[in-house]
Amino acid sequence: MPDLSIDVVAKAAGVHRSTVSRAFSRPEAVKSETREHILKVAEGLGYTMSPLAQALRRKTSNIIPLIVPDITNPFFAELAKTMTQAADERGYQLMLCVTNGDPAKSDGYFTAMQAMYAPFGIVAPSTKVDTEALKRFAFGHKVVVIDRVEGDDSVPTVTVDSRKGIMLALDHLHSLGHTSIGYVSGIAGTHTAQDRMDAYLELTAQSGSTPVVLDSGSDLDAGTRGAEHFLEMDNPPTAIIAANDMVAFAVISALGRSGLRVPEDVSVIGFDGLALGARFNPPLTTVRQPIADMGHIAIELAEKQNVDGSVDHIVLEPELLVRGSTSEPRK
Amino acid sequence: MPDLSIDVVAKAAGVHRSTVSRAFSRPEAVKSETREHILKVAEGLGYTMSPLAQALRRKTSNIIPLIVPDITNPFFAELAKTMTQAADERGYQLMLCVTNGDPAKSDGYFTAMQAMYAPFGIVAPSTKVDTEALKRFAFGHKVVVIDRVEGDDSVPTVTVDSRKGIMLALDHLHSLGHTSIGYVSGIAGTHTAQDRMDAYLELTAQSGSTPVVLDSGSDLDAGTRGAEHFLEMDNPPTAIIAANDMVAFAVISALGRSGLRVPEDVSVIGFDGLALGARFNPPLTTVRQPIADMGHIAIELAEKQNVDGSVDHIVLEPELLVRGSTSEPRK
DNA sequence: AGTGTTATTGCAACCGATCTCAGCAACCGA
DNA sequence: TCGGTTGCTGAGATCGGTTGCAATAACACT
């Protein structure tokens, strides 16, 4: 197929390059008949504009990076899924960047995206975000973070209300009759993870019970260790809150290997609301984060910041999702 | 920060644009002292070349698309993960494209990637690949498919030996003492899915038993339906082979909801070897696909085709991963 | 010394768009 | 009828590189 450039379309339509350009990217600046003619000709030739050339000249592209630590983690996968959709609803191309938790790689992606003239980026961190580091990059001021950040209001964020979520979990368990409720912390070392734990500690204390933190690690084995710890206790809690669904899976799996059944022997509740949870054994009761909303909102925030410079911090409401991993305490 | 272009570096180093260009992209064409000097100056300025401008002129970029139907499916997530790594080991930028099974979107990605001058692409399909459709695109001849294709040897492929995998599963189950073994088919409508089923049918018949296909759908609910079907049987099999891990999860979950336990009441074996399986309840016995290898090989095949035009079809060996979801048949 | 390589570097066109500026025609009011 | 707008289109520079070709210098050989 012959190389299709704006010039061949221009020639075919009998107008100048610049008119073709305008016909596409600034329709109101071209007489409507001319424009329609051009569009028809272009259509006939099967022409589309080169995003590269466009980006080069305009110094802004339509590709936006989503930086996640681990796509293998279903939370990020679901986030990526909804964000892809949200992005191309608005004409963006989402570029998924997986750091594997390596900050150096993260930096690399940033510079790459800068070079690609990405208009902004979305970061789902695995650690507490260093806003200073963010700002070393040209579009540091054009990043929205899917987590809370500390001491710096200049970067937009989206989160769910951790405290509210933990409260939902606690209330659910209480209403089932549980009074001793343990906690296993999450995978990521984010503010969000911290907040959930803090909320657990605080709310438990408030209700007059003693908090039982079974594990406070932030790696993939937190669940397994939490379960081990649980098994060693003389007087273990009757229910466990896991800081996120993946950890809940691990907890249930480890418990299961030791012959304990959920929810008959222990109740376990997660936090995330992964679709996967519905197909777990047993189906996981959990606190749902509105992941789809987070994706859309992240993009909206970025766009909003781009136009009026406003920096928002959106906190979404979690929701209880009762499935099969919680029940009344044994006996 | 001042706009960094090749010209400012050139000026700073006291040489011509073209020399700077060569210093970076064709080092042997520049006297080594000159080159070192230029590199030093560039370094000092914090200069990096614009991939956009490069791609535009060279008509080839370093971004390569990986097209998957659903990133939420851990198989594709793991594939994406290893491919990201494989890609940037070789200096490529992986661009993850999620189609949600929509062929139109898939087409869109192709044209976009073409416009970005991607040197080749990788497709992990969710249906039998239509090689004709692939070829409508400029780099249709530069695509490697992670599945078998039919009647067209002109596109490189990577797969694992389905028959061998099913054999592994069957042998494992036989050696445990199972004689009646059911099958629930997979999520995707790929050749691979078909091959697994065919292998099951054939090998079961060969061993003198009657195949029991519990469900042959290719959607997410195959597992659930398979389990229902199982529960309705008068004389159900003592073990179930699931066409992939996700289905196995669903089967076990559905069985569990009806009070059946795995592996005590039924053995279930999956196919994929997802990391997630190790944290399932019970940990899933499965046939492992060497996903990491597949990623690397896919890229190698593409590169190889790019240089010498060769088209290979690699078939990898699966491997049995015995965990906790299989045991001797009850009684 | 004269001539034929070979190694380096500069020149300038080019990739495919965008965008400012200028030109031109039609239209308006006085 | 004439200066002033307004609407539309063409020219040409520009974005940040690459690359074929020409120019120059250095070196080898007869």
The model's pLDDT over B239-289, given as tens digits with 9 standing for 90+, comes to: 999 999 999 999 999 999 999 999 999 999 999 999 999 999 999 999 999
- Between CA B41 and C1' D21 the distance (Å) reads 28
- Between CA B18 and C1' D22 the distance (Å) reads 14
Q: Which nucleotides of C are covered by protein (CB under 7 A)?
A: 7-20
CB contact under 8 A, A95 and B98: no
Q: For residue B256, which residues of chain A lie inside 8 Å, CB to CB? A: 281-282
The rounded distance, in Å, linking the Cα atoms of B245 and B187 is 10
Chain A segment 257-316 residues within 8 A of B by beta carbon are: 257, 262, 275-276, 278-283
| Residue found by looking up tokens 């960047």 in the block | A97
* Residue A223, in any domain of the structure: yes
CB contact under 8 A, B253 and A279: yes
Domain count, chain B: 3
Same domain, residue pair B205 and B308: no
Same domain, residue pair B156 and B304: yes
Same domain, residue pair A285 and A178: yes
Nearest of B265, B269, B261 to residue B331 by alpha carbon: B265
A189 touches chain B (CB under 8 A): no
Same domain, residue pair B283 and B167: yes
Provide the b/e sequence for B198-209 (b: ≥16 CB within 10 Å): ebbeebbeeeeb
The rounded distance, in Å, linking the Cα atoms of A193 and A186 is 6
* Residue A321, in any domain of the structure: no
Rounded to the nearest angstrom, the minimum Cα separation between B258 and chain A is 10
Q: Is B222 left (phi over 0), alpha (psi -120 to 50) or beta?
A: alpha
* Residue B326, in any domain of the structure: no
A77 touches chain B (CB under 8 A): yes
For residue A29, give the nucleotide whose C1' atom is nearest its CA: D8
Is the distance from CB of B325 to CB of B269 less than 8 angstroms?
yes
Same domain, residue pair B82 and B19: no
Query: Which residues fall within 8 angstroms of residue A208, CB to CB, at 6 or more apart?
Result: none
Q: What is the DSSP letter of A28?
A: G
* Residue B204, in any domain of the structure: yes
Q: Please indicate whether residue B159 or residue B109 has the higher confidence score (pLDDT).
A: B159
- What CATH number is attached to the domain comprising B33? 1.10.260
Same domain, residue pair B77 and B226: no
The model's pLDDT over B195-216, given as tens digits with 9 standing for 90+, comes to: 999 999 999 999 999 999 999 9
A249 touches chain B (CB under 8 A): yes
Angle at the Cα of B42 from the Cα atoms of B38 and B46, rounded to 5 degrees: 170
Same domain, residue pair B169 and B280: yes
Q: Please indicate whether residue B91 or residue B183 has the higher confidence score (pLDDT).
A: B183
Answer yes or no: is pLDDT of B154 > 90. no
Q: Where are the alpha helices (DSSP H) in B90-130?
A: 103-115
Per-residue pLDDT of chain A (331 residues; tens, 9 = 90+): 567 899 999 999 999 999 999 999 999 989 999 999 999 999 999 999 999 999 999 999 999 999 999 999 999 999 999 999 999 899 899 999 999 888 888 888 888 898 999 999 999 999 888 887 777 765 656 899 999 988 888 899 999 999 999 999 999 999 999 999 999 998 888 999 999 999 999 999 999 999 999 999 988 899 999 999 999 999 999 999 999 999 999 999 999 999 999 999 999 999 999 999 999 999 999 999 999 999 999 999 999 998 888 999 999 999 999 999 999 998 6
Same domain, residue pair B207 and B298: no
Provide the whole-model pTM: 0.94
Q: Is A212 left (phi over 0), alpha (psi -120 to 50) or beta?
A: beta
Same domain, residue pair A135 and A202: no
Q: For residue A64, which residues of chain B lie inside 8 Å, CB to CB? A: none
* Residue B55, in any domain of the structure: no
Structural domain range at position B148: 61-160+291-317
- What CATH number is attached to the domain comprising B200? 3.40.50.2300
Same domain, residue pair B11 and B38: yes
CA closest to A282 among chain B residues: B253
* Residue B114, in any domain of the structure: yes
Interface contacts A/B by beta carbons within 8 Å:
128
Rounded to the nearest angstrom, the minimum Cα separation between B11 and chain A is 21
Q: What does A150-194 look like in DSSP terms, one character per residue?
A: SS-TTS-EEEE-HHHHHHHHHHHHHHHT---EEEE--SSBSHHHH
* Residue A322, in any domain of the structure: no
Q: For residue A256, which residues of chain B lie inside 8 Å, CB to CB? A: 281-282
Same domain, residue pair A129 and A70: yes
Q: What per-residue confidence (pLDDT) applies to A131?
A: 81
Residue A2, token pair as written in the block: 């012959």
Same domain, residue pair B150 and B195: no
* Residue A277, in any domain of the structure: yes
Query: Which residues fall within 8 angstroms of residue A252, CB to CB, at 6 or more apart?
Result: A262, A268, A280, A281, A282, A284, A325, B281
CB contact under 8 A, A56 and B56: yes
CB contact under 8 A, A74 and B74: yes
